[in-house]
Amino acid sequence: MFQNEGRIKYSCKLLSYLVDVSYEELLKNLVLMKNEVNKNKKKDKGSRCDYVAKLGDMYINIEVNNNSSLAILQRNMQYVDGIFSRKRKEGSQDKTEEYNYIIQVNINNFAFQGNEKIIDIYVKK
């Protein structure tokens, strides 16, 4: 649903709550990006992020997770690494499209317990 240009207003509304950027600015400047993850080897299985967008020099990745396994967390970290290394893998020497950071938002139906490196923000009903 979010990776559709025709529905970009919905992802802009969600992101306006998560990052310090207004809905109007997001709607005007957010660009949806390719959500396929580059393969390291031809025989590697293809992977796809749930959502990837670019806003100025910032990439935003959203992942929706139903499984609390460590493999899911590792996969999501590999997605960030894949986004970060895209430019390098494409072999471009052009420095005009460099970015300062990547924000990954994981929307989970669970919480990772006991890991201080993960920031869990949730609302109790």
Q: Return per-residue pLDDT of the chain as tens, 125 residues.
A: 677 888 899 999 999 998 889 999 999 999 999 888 766 656 666 788 999 999 998 899 999 998 888 888 888 888 888 887 765 545 555 554 566 678 888 888 877 676 666 665 554 44
Q: Which amino acid is at 42?
A: K
Distance between CA atoms of residues 36 and 12, nearest Å: 21
Give the pLDDT score at 68.
Answer: 82
pLDDT at 35: 85
Q: DSSP string covering 15-71, please?
A: HHHHSSS-HHHHHHH-EE---EEPPSSTTSPPEE-SEEEEETTEEEEEEEE----HH
Q: What pLDDT is attached to residue 55?
A: 92
Q: What is the pLDDT of residue 23?
A: 97
Q: Is 104 helix (H, G, I), strand (E, B) or coil?
A: strand
Given its phi and psi angles, is residue 50 left (phi above 0), alpha (psi -120 to 50 degrees) or beta?
A: alpha
Q: Are strands 47-48 and 51-55 parallel, antiparallel or unpaired?
A: unpaired
